[in-house]
Structure formats: C-alpha cells, structure tokens
Structure 1
Amino acid sequence: MTESLTIHIDESQKHDRLDKVLSLHNEEWSRSQVQQWIKEGHVLVNGEKIKPNYKCNTGDEVLLSIPEPEELDVIPEKMDLDVYYEDADVIVVNKPRGMVVHPAAGHATGTLVNGLMAHCKDLSGINGVLRPGIVHRIDKDTSGLLMVAKNDFAHEKLVNQLVDKSVTRKYQAIVHGVISHDVGTVDAPIGRDKKDRQSMTVTDENSRQAVTHFRVIDRYKDFTHIECQLETGRTHQIRVHMKYIGYPLVGDPKYGPRKTLDIGGQALHAGILGFIHPRTEEYMEFEAPAPIEFEQLLNQIKNR
C-alpha cells in the first residue's frame, strides 16, 4: 500500500527548493531519491506536478505519495552476526569494522543487509530493495551498534526518533592532537564538498544542521581518546566535525592528516545506542565494547 504524506510549506521555507525541503523532512530521504520521486510524479504541489528545482511558496500544499518498494532481490548470505537484541520489531546488531551496511556500487555482496536477509526474512521495506530494515548507517570502517527495523511500523517509529533527536548515539574515537578542555560541542552545518563530491564539509551552502557533543576520556602525548555523542546524524559527521576543529580522527583516509597511523580506517566505534522501543514504548540502551584493534591502537599510543 502506497504511503501518502501531506506537508504544508511555512514562511521559513519560502523560496527554498522543494527537493531540499523534503530531504530535510526525513533523514532517510536522500535528496537524489526525492528528486527521483518528483520526476516520477509522486510529488504534487497544490495538486500539480512540478520539477525538482521548484521553489516553494508559503502555504503550498505538498502531497508526497511514497512509492511501494520493489520486491527485495538482495542475495541472502549466512553470516555470524553479533546480535545484541532481537524481537518481532527490532534487531540491534554490532557491525564489525570493514563491513558495508547495505549493497551499493562495488558492494553487491558481503554487506550487513546480505547477512540480515539470511538471518530473518521480515525486514521493513520502506527503504526499498537495497536497504531493507536500515534505519541509520555507520561507515564501512566504523564498528558498532545499529538498530534495524523488522517491519514498516517499527521503521517509521524509529526514524521519527532520529528526526526528534531522541536516540542516544555515543561513539569512542581517537583523534590527533591534545584537546585541552574536558567537554565541548561542535555546532556547524554539513554539506557536500564542492571540490570533492565524495566528501562532506562544513559549509553554509546546501547543508544540514549538525551538532556533535564530545568529552575527553584520556589524553596522551600527541593524541586524545574521546567520546562523541550525536545530536544529529549527518554523513561522516564526527569525522568532519573533528577535522573542522583541528582534531582529525586517527587513521581517517579521507579527513585525516597525510601523516596518520596506518590502521586501515578511522578510529571510531559506535559503542552506545539507546532508543524507545517502537511497540512497548520502553527505553532500551545497549553498549558494545570497542573491538580489539581499537584497544590495541590505544595501547600502541600509550607506549609511544
């Protein structure tokens, strides 16, 4: 059954592009996906079809009919998943470093979704063929906890919590440099880097609000071990924000310094995840210890 949603444009959104407004309405709707929906006629403004670059007017009534997802055709692959919790609505899984969350160009197999498809058949279909059940993501070389929806009811409830910023997401990270203050907040918008479309950057153009809180766990000669808590969940948010304030993540091939420790990816672990269960409405929180390679890196830094 096609899901329909009506949105009314307010004064603050006047003159904004509609594809931008809709992509900001839900974190799981990418701008390119919204543009495709507009091109296919799934979006009407005041009852009429429009183009992706349509500029909004105050009072516009936007009707979005989210198309039904295609039948899933991801290849199930039996994997030894590290499942922390599972019931009829939700799975919480600890993703290992080096694993891609869902199939994409160059990663058709071996992803978490491939493993989930073999583990259970009842994943939500809101995100379509390649991302069944996926409510939020972490990067390939970031380890840690993810919540996965097993039906559309749970998916919508969990996504709403992400939009409301009520999900607890805490990460451990190791950064270059010694941070002198014990706690801090980075409140800086993130968008695509014009010079490198594969990277994100702090910018005021076509960006989204991004807020990261951090506290120092320990300091070393040239490095700092920190905990970061996400208020928002933008692509590469912690990596971009820590680079922005001058403390890039150790091992980060995209945002780190040229001379960093070669550890095969950024030192980042999503260790704590908390949310309200979509059906019982009880708060649940899970904690996964940092993987052995993260602890080995800490010991290496301590002994430098």
Structure 2
Amino acid sequence: MYEFKVSRHDDGRRLDKVLRGLWPAVPLSAIMRSIRKGNVRVCGRKAHPSSRLREGERVSVPWEAPSTRGTRPMPGPVDVVYIDEHMLVANKPAGLLSQPSSRTSDSLLGRIVAMYGREGGFPPTLVHRLDRNTSGLVMAALDGLSLRSLSVAMREGKIFKRYWVVVIGDLPDRGEIDLPLEKDTESNITFVSQRGSRALTRYRAILRWKDFTLAEMELVTGRPHQIRAHLAAIGYPIVGDVKYGGLVARRWENALRPLLHARELSFGDMPDALSVLSNMRLIAPLPPDFERLLPPQTALLG
C-alpha cells in the first residue's frame, strides 16, 4: 500500500480524478474496481469514486508511489505577458511546441517549468495549447485551484480568444463560418463534414492590401485546426498554410508557416481566486513574419 496526503492543489477534487492524474498508467477500470472493493481508503474508510477530497486527508492505494517524472525543465526564454501567484500568460513563438512530444524536446511548458519550478509540488500546467507553428498567447496555471477555475471559465465562455491571420483574397468585412468539422487522426487534417462536430468562427477584416487581408478571428467553439479549415473551406486560405490552402497559400514566398497568431485573451467576470483577471485584456505583439508582410504604414498595429 502507498499513502499520500491530499495537497491544497487537489482540495475539492473527486477521488477518481485525483487518482487518474497521479497514476495515468493504471487503467480507469482498475482504479474504479479498487475503489469499489475498498482497496482505496480515505482516512482509513471506504470511499466513493465521486467523493470530494479535502486538503490534509490521507489516502491509501494498492499501487506503488506515483512517478515523479513530469515535464522536463528546458532552458530557454519565456516571453511573459502576465504573471501572478496563480497563473502565467506567455507569448509563444512560432516553431516552439506548447508541450513536449518527448522527454528531450524543447517546449514552452518545459521552459516555464525551468523558470518557475514546481511551487508546492504542483507542476505548472497549460490550460490550453497552440500548434507548433501558431504564435501567440498561452495560459499556464501555477496551482491546482487555478487550473480548475480557468478550465471551467473557458468551458463557460468567460475567456475569449481572438486570433489574427493574413489570408489570400479580399475577405468580406465581417461574418460567421458555421460549418461542422471532423478530424482525420491518421493524416492530422480537419475537414468539413456533416458527421463532424459543430464549429463556429466569427471574423472581421482589419486591413486589405494587394491580394491579402489581415483579419481577426474569434473562436466560439474550439475544434482542432478550426480557423485554418474554416478559412480554406470558404476560399480564403491562410498565407503560408500549404496543408489547407495548397500552393495558392504560397502567394507570399517568405511565409514559412501559416500566418496565424493568438493575438488576444479577454476575461469576463472571473471566480474569486482569479477575480484580479476580471475584465482584463491581454495582447501579444505581432511577430516579425507578420510585420514583414504588412504594409509599412500599418506598423502601429503591432
């Protein structure tokens, strides 16, 4: 038997959720069976999978101590846009993974762990991710309560994510793209399909020049590659996005990645632990590849 004490980061969480997080290699069926049989005990007593744990309670389980391996700290700069004791918002550069794909790969999360450690035993954890080649704002929670609160706030639509893109063509002033999307996991491509999940993107044009439009995109839903797939589907592929736009996306030969940037995070009324974020608006400056394509007189947009 192994026994551990519930930390403040897991206060109020369900027993089964905490065990799944600590022992990801143990099948869920085995965890549930151990709880039902009484092999998992909270303060010496049988418990239910949905039992809410409290800080300081002792939990015993029929498995070895959980692995302490987590995201490996990686040296490297972190462009911090906002930080307090609960959370951090970083401006991720294009080309950097949000979180590592292996123990040795560089990532934004690995750099955050190296810089800010594991305060109170809680490893900094990303609340959401961006694709490797998407630049812009990413949130990381620095304690368990904040991770749960931020995740709930995102589900409840209290956190608004807006992206800037450069597309090929003269995009209309504003509109909505309401097309269901399905992802092919084998090819890692998202496509419009009536069998897919509902996906809604709102957009507005900011600037037009030559054969390009700079536009702001708001994700109402959050499907994989949603903005890229939606824009390609209506005939306005993102500059540099050969995967969805084909060769036409190479209209500007210096685009080495899709020109998609997570520009803004806005917060509505946030819960008590995160009340300082209420009505806050965070902006990530435009990256160099955007600035190189935009007309010189628009430099102030950055």
Q: Aligned residue for 1:199?
A: 189
What is the identity percentage for the equivalent residue pairs of Structure 1 and Structure 2? 32
| Secondary structure at 2:148 match in 1 | helix
Q: Flag the 1:284–1:250 CA change in 2: closer, same or farther, 3 A.
A: same
Q: Flag the 1:280–1:137 CA change in 2: closer, same or farther, 3 A.
A: closer
Question: Are positions 1:221 and 2:210 aligned together?
Answer: yes
Question: Are positions 1:159 and 2:148 aligned together?
Answer: no
Shift of 1:230: 1.2
TM, length-normalised to structure 1: 0.71
Q: Flag the 1:248–1:123 CA change in 2: closer, same or farther, 3 A.
A: farther
- Verify the 8 A CA contact 1:122 1:151 in the aligned structure 2: no
- Verify the 8 A CA contact 1:277 1:284 in the aligned structure 2: no
Return 5+ residue gaps in structure 1 as ranges.
7-34, 49-61
Q: Using the alignment, how far apart are the partners of 1:174 and 1:125 within structure 2? A: 42
Q: Aligned residue for 2:55?
A: none
Aligned residues: 253
Cα deviation code 1:3-45 (max 9, x no counterpart): 4289xxxxxxxxxxxxxxxxxxxxxxxxxxxx9887544569x
Q: Flag the 1:102–1:94 CA change in 2: closer, same or farther, 3 A.
A: same
- Verify the 8 A CA contact 1:172 1:270 in the aligned structure 2: yes
| Secondary structure at 1:256 match in 2 | helix
Q: Using the alignment, how far apart are the partners of 2:32 and 2:210 within structure 1? A: 55
Cα deviation code 1:193-237 (max 9, x no counterpart): 37x5311122233x3332111001122332211110111222111
Q: Flag the 1:41–1:4 CA change in 2: closer, same or farther, 3 A.
A: farther
Q: Aligned residue for 1:208?
A: 197
Q: Using the alignment, how far apart are the partners of 1:91 and 1:277 within structure 2? A: 15
Shift of 1:117: 0.8
Q: Flag the 1:89–1:225 CA change in 2: closer, same or farther, 3 A.
A: same
Q: Using the alignment, how far apart are the partners of 2:274 and 2:286 within structure 1? A: 29
* Amino acid across the alignment from 1:249: I
The alignment yields a C-alpha RMSD, in angstroms, of: 3.6
- Verify the 8 A CA contact 1:172 1:269 in the aligned structure 2: yes
TM, length-normalised to structure 2: 0.72
Q: Using the alignment, how far apart are the partners of 2:192 and 2:14 within structure 1? A: 34
**Which of 228, 234, 242 is the aligned partner of 1:239?**
228
Return 5+ residue gaps in structure 2 as ranges.
1-5, 17-23, 38-48, 53-60
Q: Aligned residue for 1:133?
A: 125
Q: Flag the 1:36–1:164 CA change in 2: closer, same or farther, 3 A.
A: farther
* Amino acid across the alignment from 1:288: A
Q: Flag the 1:203–1:147 CA change in 2: closer, same or farther, 3 A.
A: same
Q: Tell which deviates more after alignment, 253-262 or 281-290.
A: 253-262
* Amino acid across the alignment from 1:113: L
* Amino acid across the alignment from 1:209: R
Shift of 1:112: 0.4
Q: Tell which deviates more after alignment, 138-147 or 272-281.
A: 272-281
| Secondary structure at 2:281 match in 1 | strand
Shift of 1:161: 1.4
Q: Aligned residue for 1:177?
A: 169
Shift of 1:166: 2.0
| Secondary structure at 2:14 match in 1 | strand
Listed as ranges, the matches of 1:6-17 within 5 Å are none
Bigger Rg over Cα:
2
Cα deviation code 1:113-142 (max 9, x no counterpart): 11011111237999xx9xx51111111111
Question: Are positions 1:168 and 2:157 aligned together?
Answer: no
- Verify the 8 A CA contact 1:248 1:256 in the aligned structure 2: yes
Q: Tell which deviates more after alignment, 95-104 or 282-291.
A: 282-291
Q: Using the alignment, how far apart are the partners of 1:124 and 1:269 within structure 2? A: 33
Shift of 1:245: 1.3
Judging by fraction of residues, say which structure has more helix: 2
